[in-house]
Structure 1
Amino acid sequence: MRVLCVCLGNICRSPAAEAALRDRGVEVVSAGTGDWHVGKPPYQPMQDAGQALGRDLTSLRARQFNASDFQNFDLILAMDEDNAADIERLRPAGSTTPVRLFADRAVPDPYYTRDFEGAWAMIEKAADALIADRIVQPAE
């Protein structure tokens, strides 16, 4: 199962979600709906908070979500409702790839809230729930 995690800029929430799921054995990539940070590493405060949890984001680089992602992934996980709506606007006719929220509610954007540890805690809890509920499955 190939999973794509999507947030706004692909520098905070979705790279954290990618790392959390990757470290649980899931085949996962991340992207952002916006193009402001394409090619840049995750935001340093998010990297620092992740490092404290043993999560390494240093190799990740931001990329923008595009319509071909619907055919390249089995599941798309949005970090909030606005990102889910932006993703759906790009859905090609006939695509059945599911799009759902990563967590049971929107993950607040720590770029604006400055709560990097809180975002990580929510992402870690949601990653566990996604696996426990068999929504995502580790690669075999």
Structure 2
Amino acid sequence: QVLIGAPTDVYALDAETGQVQWVFNGPKQTGILQAGDNIELARLQRAENNVRPMTVPNPWSAPTIDGRGTVYIGNQEGPIFSLRDENGDGKVEGPNEVSTYDTGACFSGSSSPAIGDNMMAIAS
């Protein structure tokens, strides 16, 4: 699989043909700040160190795909998503195909979940 992303959508493509296998319509950004940026101390530290006041990252982290084809990907709003097109209809939606865990902190575009035996490590 090859994954591409629109501002809020995630697409899975066939690696050989480029055909869309499925699409997940991701969450819309809820405000001007990313998860974790609304903490006053974080904003003060950024101002004191001449760091831009908002994260403004790519809305998605880099994805990780397990052996069953489940995609794990973090979002700028704080949750990490588990995505799998169980019924093969080309859309990933509903509780059987989408699981989330809210970390409360933004995922940068360069971070990626790491998976192992009964374990996942994330950086947000």
Q: TM-score if structure 1 supplies the norm length? A: 0.26
Larger % of helix: which? 1
Q: TM-score if structure 2 supplies the norm length? A: 0.28
